[in-house]
Chain A
Amino acid sequence: MTKITLNLLTGRTIQQGATMEGGKEKKAYTKACAIIEMTPEDMKRLNVWKNTNVRVSNEFGSVTVKAVVADQGLHPGDAYMPMGPWSNMVVDPNTYSTGMPTFKGTPIEIEVAINEPIYDSQELVRRACGLKV
């Protein structure tokens, strides 16, 4: 299975903001945030169609989200995930004595994971914390 390495950026999108205010337990929030945006070139390199489930992982964790083409253009080699529990499964928690985790610029590996489920925000975090779901 093809696996590619990208540089992960995270941040706000208006869809993330609006669905967050609409309720983080709702499907719309998962749809808006459980995604990873890539350039068309990187989608080709990964050999993946848009809206396919992919596993994003690194030394900090792993999460399954949908691969989509970035609508706000990225440099090839960069990937973007909306801020939220999905991206926070893989961001670098090191603060380097500033208090601020490194939310932008985390190396990640991506591979196709068609059969892996995408959890909603509550289930994702409860599972990760070892709580019953």
Chain B
Amino acid sequence: MANIVSDVICTFCGTLCDDLEIELSDDGRKIKEVYHACAIGAEKFLHSQAEDRITRPRMQDDDGNWTEVSYEEAAKYTAKILCDAKKPLMYGWSSTSCEAQSVGHEIAEAVGGMVDNTATVCHGSSLIAVQDVGIPSCTLGEAMNRADRVVFWGCNPAHAHPRHMSRYSVYPRGFFTGKGSKSRKVVVVDPRKTDTASLADAHLQLEQGRDYELLSAFRVAFRGEKLPDFVAGIPKDQIYEAADLLKSGRFVIIYFGMGVTQSLGKNHNIDIAIGLTRDLNDYTKAAIMPMRGHYNVTGSGEVLGWQFGFPFCVDLSRGVARYNPGETSSNDLLIRDEVDAVFVLGSDPGAHFPISSVKKIAQLPSVAIDPHLTPTTAVCKLHVPVAFVGVEVGGCCYRMDNVPIESRKVVDPPEGMLTDQEFLTMVLGEVRKNKGV
């Protein structure tokens, strides 16, 4: 009989699907097949089984040659660069468990680090906007059971959150949405005719970067006021029609993504999207939710929030927690040469930061803690491979709607390999020794 583990949590995106089934070899050591996952999630589980996986820490010399080192040596080196630095950047945190994040924050507190997570290049703008104007939101369960009007603004779940539409937003039959997709009208606002847009009842293909204007126009249309003939390249009739469609719903949910957070305007785009949601509540019930990317970027914000009061860009270098995106954010710190060591865990700035920031990382004492080989590990002085959270070790993760979900261990990591929490605990011990505390 097949050896199947059921109800496995997928630790790829913020949707945190919790219905995966994984077929193991008879001895329970190898993953043979992954069921119910999307293409990306399945690849994540299967790649953890790769024969060519790096299983021991390695240090790089100036010629680019790698030498294997022990976890003890790696922990000593990591502690040393963090203790020697005046202002180390400790970036990432989104692809690990809340427990590991918490140990990492203890280290950051001891060494006076700058703690930032991947929201800085993802939904950081949304976090700033939420602090400015608040957010009327809900859980994905509420959206599934109630929402009959679904807006995807500047996001493309067909590619970025592949099972979001089938599990929560468009297709599932909920308590008040018993006919599934037939109960819902879908509006997509995107400058591209995306695969998500092809499923929509209405697609507003606006001109790129003009979201603020179109969001404003919607607020005007809700009030029945006059609009110019075109806003952001969209004819006014189409805007009035979409506005009426939303007003006529019983429950509107607006999902938004990088289209609004990364275009010019940034947090102001989100401010007005939240304002629009507030306005809709004059006519019906409406909520808005960011489509969070990494599976535990939300958790990183939560843990930083309850420990230091801020969800990202936390500056601990002065002994108290400070927060000022634009000053204490990773890319600004790197570009302005304000940090003197870089520690990366559970993220890949080498691939996902502008190259001007990556060049700075390459010049500094640096460590990358990551199960994969990445552009970050290629430029860092030390690469520490660790077990995959959600595959080889469990841990708490937060879904995009701030619901905590405990991820599960499915198989053992390769022999002798540490988890990130275990490695961070070693580093914390070394840091305490160095600091004499």
Chain A residues within CB distance 8 Å of chain B: 7, 9, 11-14, 17-25, 60-61, 70, 72-75, 78, 80, 83-85, 88-89, 91-93, 95-105, 121-122, 124-126, 128-133
Cα distance A101–B194 in the bound complex, in angstroms: 23
Cα distance A99–B329 in the bound complex, in angstroms: 5
Residues in A with CB closer than 8 Å to B125 are 98, 100
Residues in A with CB closer than 8 Å to B43 are 18-19, 21-22
B256 in contact (CB, < 8 A): no
Looking at the assembled complex, report how far the CB atom of B321 sits from the nearest CB atom of chain A, in whole angstroms. 16
* 25 A/B residue pairs, CB under 8 Å, sorted by A: A12-B293, A17-B39, A21-B12, A22-B43, A24-B373, A25-B373, A60-B356, A74-B191, A74-B193, A75-B207, A80-B192, A85-B350, A91-B354, A96-B266, A97-B327, A98-B128, A98-B325, A99-B116, A99-B328, A99-B331, A100-B325, A105-B263, A126-B64, A126-B379, A128-B359
Cα distance A7–B354 in the bound complex, in angstroms: 17
Decide: B330 and A99 in contact? CB cutoff 8 A: yes
B125, B192, B205, B374: residue with the most chain A Cβ atoms closer than 10 Å: B192
A17, A23, A73: residue with the most chain B Cβ atoms closer than 10 Å: A17
B156 in contact (CB, < 8 A): yes
Q: Which of B47, B205, B353 contacts A75 (CB 8 A)?
A: B205
Residues in B with CB closer than 8 Å to A89 are 355
Looking at the assembled complex, report how far the CB atom of B61 sits from the nearest CB atom of chain A, in whole angstroms. 10
Q: Which of B192, B233, B331 contacts A9 (CB 8 A)?
A: B192
B348 in contact (CB, < 8 A): yes
Decide: B160 and A12 in contact? CB cutoff 8 A: yes
Residues in A with CB closer than 8 Å to B31 are none
Q: Which of B39, B194, B335, B361 contacts A18 (CB 8 A)?
A: B39
Other CB < 8 Å A-B pairs besides A14-B40, A22-B46, A95-B325, 4 of them? A14-B39, A23-B47, A95-B329, A121-B351
Decide: B192 and A21 in contact? CB cutoff 8 A: no
B44 in contact (CB, < 8 A): yes
Q: Considering the complex, which residues of chain B in the window 197-249 have a beta carbon less than 8 Å from any beta carbon of chain A?
A: 197, 205, 207-209, 233
Chain B residues within CB distance 8 Å of chain A: 12, 38-40, 43-44, 46-47, 50, 62-64, 116, 120-121, 124-125, 128, 156, 158-160, 162, 191-195, 197, 205, 207-209, 233, 258-259, 261-264, 266-267, 293, 312-313, 325-332, 335, 348, 350-359, 361-363, 372-375, 378-379
Q: Which 3 A-B pairs have the closest CB atoms?
A: A99-B329, A97-B326, A73-B193
Residues in B with CB closer than 8 Å to A105 are 208-209, 263-264
Residues in B with CB closer than 8 Å to A125 are 350-351, 355, 358, 375, 378-379
- With both beta carbons as reference points, the residue of chain A lying nearest to B122 in the complex is identified as A100
Residues in B with CB closer than 8 Å to A21 are 12, 40, 43-44, 47
Q: Which of B258, B325, B330, B356 contacts A97 (CB 8 A)?
A: B325
Q: Which of A14, A60, A88, A124 contacts B158 (CB 8 A)?
A: A14
Residues in B with CB closer than 8 Å to A128 are 355, 358-359
- With both beta carbons as reference points, the residue of chain A lying nearest to B263 in the complex is identified as A104
Looking at the assembled complex, report how far the CB atom of A104 sits from the nearest CB atom of chain B, in whole angstroms. 5
Looking at the assembled complex, report how far the CB atom of B211 sits from the nearest CB atom of chain A, in whole angstroms. 10
Decide: B326 and A132 in contact? CB cutoff 8 A: no
Decide: A75 and B191 in contact? CB cutoff 8 A: yes
Cα distance A7–B124 in the bound complex, in angstroms: 23
Cα distance A98–B121 in the bound complex, in angstroms: 10
Decide: B191 and A83 in contact? CB cutoff 8 A: no
Residues in A with CB closer than 8 Å to B374 are 24-25, 121
Decide: B351 and A104 in contact? CB cutoff 8 A: no
Cα distance A121–B349 in the bound complex, in angstroms: 12
Decide: A103 and B121 in contact? CB cutoff 8 A: yes
- With both beta carbons as reference points, the residue of chain A lying nearest to B41 in the complex is identified as A21
Q: A93-B357, A126-B64 are in contact. Are A72 and B192 (CB under 8 A)?
A: yes
